[in-house]
Amino acid sequence: MTMVEQWLRRLLTAAALALCWPGPAALAADPKPLRLIAPAAPGGILDLTSRLIAKGLQDVTHQTVVVENVSGAGGTLGIMAMLKADPDGNTLVMGSLGPNAANYTLQDKLPYKPEDLSPVIHVLSMPNVLVAAPKLGVKTLAELKALSKARPAGLSMAVSTSGSSGHLTGALIKLRAGVSAVDIVYRGAAPALTDLVGGQVDFMVDNMITSLPMVRAGKLVALAVTSRDRVPEMPDVPTIVESGYPDIDVTVWLGLFVSAKVPQDRVRQLNADLQKVLAMPEIRQRIAEQGGMGVGGSPEVFKRFVATEKDRWEQVIKSSGIKVE
């Protein structure tokens, strides 16, 4: 082989390698999408908040963020869907009082333990509101109680998700205030509210984020809010504490979790990204408009909060005899 032929062969080989070697665009390929599981049906607080946070997280990380609704079993199915995913930190679940605090007492055979989950960030806190169908003709908790006693079969209470904050608060109201009602359990807030507005069920304890628009439109009547203080969005609606029941002071909370197998440096990165999301003016405004408050904070602070909630509801459930039907 002549020197010219050797030179040509080397040139062709180099050209072939150049064609096969990934360029800068290929090396900077899109990162793996993030998956945010909302353990409830579309339309409720878990779904709406998950989509709001997903949009902000996508803007911060420049990763695609897909929201997936996995409803059922009081949020348990959504938690398990997260735990079954690869523990790389790309799958998160929007947790809440039910599956991450109360269910440990309510359900005898819960398929996960607190140690299986790693808290990432406390997303928001907001009060619940006791609402009734307009055709029921009541405007206060006292009137609701009187009507339930006057009806031989009592009333019906819609439950968006078994074991949810609305379910537990409603159970406390029935117990402490002596409201006679049977639970009608749904697979999410949207179908429960549809039946409530239509008069198929009588009343419900719901998250303010989903009930507030219907109260403002006159489709539902707000009887009381569950927080200790009145809320600016409903200044004329009394609290249940004001109505004579000082131990009924409940706020709903949401927060993000990943598998405990996810490395802590990845958890901290997710926390840092989500801190930026919760600091966005448009995110804070949207949460406030829906009656809530963005929280944030470190994974450690959120972990302590969740542990406190677990202990609190364990005591309430055991002392009140609340059961999941």
**Arithmetic mean of pLDDT over the chain:** 88
pLDDT tens-digit series, residues 18-32: 344 444 433 344 578
Percentage of the chain beyond pLDDT 70 is 90
Task: Please report the pLDDT score of residue 325 as a whole number.
Answer: 57
Above 80 in pLDDT, residue 112?
yes
Report the topology of domain 131-225. D-Maltodextrin-Binding Protein; domain 2 (3.40.190)
- Decide which of 3.30.465.10, 3.90.1580.10, 3.40.1390.10, 3.40.190.150 is the CATH code for 34-126+251-320: 3.40.190.150
Comparing CA positions, the residue from 210, 148, 142 lying closest to residue 180 is 148
The two domains 34-126+251-320 and 131-225 share their CATH topology (first three levels equal): yes
Residue with the larger pLDDT of the pair 8 and 95: 95
pLDDT tens-digit series, residues 40-78: 889 888 999 999 999 999 999 999 999 999 998 889 999
Task: Please report the pLDDT score of residue 210 as a whole number.
Answer: 86
For the chain, the structural domain boundaries read 34-126+251-320, 131-225
Above 50 in pLDDT, residue 183?
yes
Task: Please report the pLDDT score of residue 8 as a whole number.
Answer: 40
242 Cβ contact partners less than 8 Å away, ≥ 6 residues apart: 224, 230
pLDDT tens-digit series, residues 223-280: 999 998 898 889 999 999 999 998 888 888 999 999 999 999 999 999 999 999 999 9
User: In the chain, which ranges are continuous DSSP H helix?
Assistant: 3-20, 24-27, 45-61, 76-83, 97, 103-106, 141-150, 165-177, 189-198, 208-216, 264-279, 281-289, 299-320
pLDDT tens-digit series, residues 154-173: 899 999 887 888 988 998 89
What is the band of 94 on the pLDDT scale with cuts at 50, 70, 90?
very high
Distance, CA of 4 to CA of 21 (rounded, Å)? 26
Above 90 in pLDDT, residue 152?
no
Task: Please report the pLDDT score of residue 162 as a whole number.
Answer: 79
Above 50 in pLDDT, residue 99?
yes
Angle made by CA atoms 206, 188, 166, in degrees to the nearest 5: 30
